[in-house]
């Protein structure tokens, strides 16, 4: 995966990486002065077994997206397992505001991101929600990887709450029905026009009622955003034809099985299958599979999940790095020994200066610039306070406008 080395990209990605590394509820500390010796630290052992998230916490975690139409919901759940690529997509969209329709679809298809992330390019308001609140997005993805069926059940519980409150119904933008799937009664939300998607905008407190467990501390539109007597607003409809090709949407929920279905005929999924040898892509369709190659080195929430996908877990003790290690071994002239985490240009990027053994300076095999000293901390369903990364890409709450779901690329009209 290629990282763009612009100062903006470096600062934002560094902040995101740092936010994903820290355990829930633990704030980041300011970087040590490069000349100050790093004291010996002992990192807390990685959580071995996934602690099952209780239903009330899962309900609050999925509340911001539970009322999305089924295909979009399924794609967002899949994409949330690749948080770094979502941030990269947001940065990429900011640099390609001139691309529309087929030109945008073709351009993003060339990027080396997972199909679930590529396919969101037509929905910049959704990308903004996921990238601006990346800690919540990461928690959502981790929960989905560890408890996929429980997450799907939580979505159904929240839909029922909204329906019982009289706030979930068929409109000109969506069709809401109750169906029996595999002996299970579920609430299904589809686009009124299969070719056009309207992204719902709502405050969880308004549509569901007061929470048992606090809703994620992310931005929700103010009450004045909605029309009188309306609990759910909608942005401008987005025609998705160019992003589908002839295969339709790439993702959909399998309510009877508590999983997500992948459609290999979708242009991005199909393109990715033709041009990769990664075996864990489900080439025949059926249930979606997480692809750790697109995780970008971001740690998983626990050791069990990390072992399943061959990655690192949050809280792992990083390997000690010798100071001033170079690519030339002692007594060898001109030998550039490339190794995981080092470059192949003669000098390793594993410099011990200015780093600590505790490790907030790396994600996987990627170095994090030491200029990042702040990020969102805590856990979206862990009750910790949070603050946004201080970068030129972050928007203050005063400039986010009437809606985080309608503030970019022409979206945000009220219905």
Regarding pTM above 0.75, the answer is no
Residue 246 lies in a domain: yes
* pLDDT value of position 183: 87
Say if CB 28 and CB 352 are below 8 A apart.
Answer: no
Could you tell me if residue 44 is inside a domain?
Answer: no
Residue at 333 is within a domain: no
**Shortest CA distance to 14 belongs to which of 411, 394, 404?**
394
Task: Give the model's confidence band at 274: pLDDT under 50 very low, under 70 low, under 90 confident, else very high.
Answer: low
By percentage, how much of the chain surpasses pLDDT 90? Answer: 45
Q: Are 232 and 200 in contact (CB under 8 A)?
A: yes
pLDDT of 142 higher than 50: yes
pLDDT at residue 316, as a whole number: 76
Query: What does the pLDDT read at residue 300?
Result: 94
Strand, coil or helix: what is 340? coil
Q: What is the pLDDT of residue 354?
A: 38
**Looking at residues 22-29, what average pLDDT do you find?**
40
Residue 343 lies in a domain: no
What pLDDT does residue 332 have?
Answer: 39
The pLDDT assigned to 271 comes to 67
- pLDDT tens readout for residues 105-141: 999 999 999 999 999 999 999 999 999 999 999 999 9
- pLDDT digit string, tens, across residues 223-265: 777 777 789 999 889 988 777 766 678 889 999 889 998 877 7
154 compared with 410, residue with greater pLDDT: 154
CA–CA separation, 144 and 140 (whole Å): 6
Residue range 12-41: average pLDDT? 46
Residues 145, 81: Cα–Cα separation, whole Å: 7
Q: What share of the chain in percent tops pLDDT 70?
A: 59
Is the confidence at residue 397, as pLDDT, over 80? no
Q: What is the pLDDT of residues 326-364, one digit of tens each?
A: 443 333 343 333 333 333 333 333 333 333 333 333 334
Please check whether residue 51 lies inside any domain of the structure. no
pLDDT band, very low/low/confident/very high, at 396 (cuts 50, 70, 90): very low
DSSP codes joined into one string, 353-414: TT--TT-SSEETTEE--TT------S-TTTT-------STTPPPGGGS-S-TTSSSTT----
pLDDT tens profile 156-170:
999 999 999 999 999
Q: Using an 8 Å Cβ cutoff, are 77 and 258 in contact?
A: no
Per the prediction, the chain carries an average pLDDT of: 73
Quote the CA–CA distance of 244 and 8 in Å, as a whole number: 31
Total residue count of the chain as it appears in this document: 415
Q: Which domain holds residue 147?
A: 1-32+64-325+352-415
- 410 belongs to a structural domain: yes
Q: Is residue 268 part of a domain?
A: yes
Task: State the Cα–Cα distance between residues 307 and 20, nearest whole angstrom.
Answer: 18
Give the separation between CA 393 and CA 95, rounded to whole angstroms.
12
Look at residue 374 in the predicted model and tell me its pLDDT: 39
DSSP 92: H
Q: Is 51 helix (H, G, I), strand (E, B) or coil?
A: coil
- Whether 46 has a pLDDT exceeding 90, the answer reads no
Sign of the CA dihedral with 310 first, then 316, 320, and 324 last: positive
The DSSP-derived string for 133-197 is: THHHHHHHHHHHHH-HHHHHHHHHHHHHHHHHTT-----SSEEEEEEEETTEEEEEEEESSTTEE
Counting the structural domains of the chain, the total is: 1
Looking at the predicted structure, is the pLDDT value of residue 81 above 70? yes
Q: What whole-number distance in Å separates Cα of residue 111 and Cα of residue 120?
A: 13
- CB-based burial of residue 63 (10 Å sphere; 0-12 exposed, 13-18 middle, 19+ buried)? buried
Q: Are the CB atoms for 131 and 90 separated by under 8 Å?
A: yes
Helix (H) or strand (E) holding 116: helix 115-118
Bigger pLDDT: 330 vs 289:
289
Q: What is the mean pLDDT of residues 257-279?
A: 70
Is 54 a domain residue? Answer: no
Element at 102 (helix H, strand E): helix 101-109
For helices 70-79 and 134-146, angle between their N-to-C axes, nearest 10 degrees? 100
More confident residue, 14 or 269: 269
């Amino acid at each position: 995966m290629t990282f763009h080395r612009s100062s903006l990209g470096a600062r934002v990605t560094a902040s995101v990486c740092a936010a994903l590394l820290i355990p829930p509820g633990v704030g980041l500390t300011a970087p040590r002065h490069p000349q100050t010796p790093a004291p010996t630290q002992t990192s807390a052992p990685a959580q071995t077994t996934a602690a099952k998230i209780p239903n009330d916490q899962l309900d609050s975690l999925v509340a911001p997206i539970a009322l999305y139409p089924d295909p979009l919901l399924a794609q967002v759940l899949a994409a949330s397992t690749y948080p770094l690529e979502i941030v990269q997509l947001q940065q990429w969209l900011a640099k390609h505001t001139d691309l529309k329709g087929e030109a945008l679809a073709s351009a993003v298809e060339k990027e080396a991101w997972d199909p679930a992330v590529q396919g969101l390019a037509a929905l910049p308001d959704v990308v903004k929600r996921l990238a601006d609140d990346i800690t919540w997005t990461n928690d959502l993805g981790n929960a989905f990887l560890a408890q996929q069926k429980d997450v799907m059940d939580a979505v159904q519980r929240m839909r029922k709450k909204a329906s019982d409150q009289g706030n979930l119904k068929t409109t000109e933008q969506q069709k809401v029905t109750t169906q029996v799937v595999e002996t299970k009664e579920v609430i299904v939300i589809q686009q009124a026009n299969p070719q056009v998607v309207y992204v719902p905008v709502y405050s969880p407190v308004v549509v569901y009622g007061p929470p048992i467990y606090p809703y994620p501390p992310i931005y929700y539109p103010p009450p004045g955003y909605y029309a009188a007597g309306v609990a759910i607003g909608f942005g401008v409809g987005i025609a998705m034809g160019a992003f589908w090709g002839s295969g339709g949407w790439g993702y959909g929920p399998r309510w009877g099985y508590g999983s997500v279905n992948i459609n290999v005929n979708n242009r991005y999924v199909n393109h990715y299958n033709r041009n990769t040898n990664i075996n864990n892509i489900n080439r025949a369709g059926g249930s979606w599979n997480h692809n750790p190659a697109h995780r970008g080195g971001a740690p998983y929430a626990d050791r069990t999940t990390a072992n399943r996908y061959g990655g690192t877990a949050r809280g792992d003790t990083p390997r000690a790095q010798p100071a001033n290690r170079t690519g030339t071994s002692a007594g060898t002239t001109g030998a550039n020994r490339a190794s995981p985490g080092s470059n192949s240009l003669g000098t390793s990027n594993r410099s011990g200066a200015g780093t600590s053994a505790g490790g907030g300076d790396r994600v996987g095999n990627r170095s994090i610039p030491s200029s990042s000293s702040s990020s969102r901390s805590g856990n979206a369903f862990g009750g910790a306070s949070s603050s946004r990364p201080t970068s030129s890409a972050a928007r203050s709450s005063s400039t986010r406008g009437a809606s985080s779901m309608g503030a970019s690329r022409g979206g945000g009209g009220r219905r």
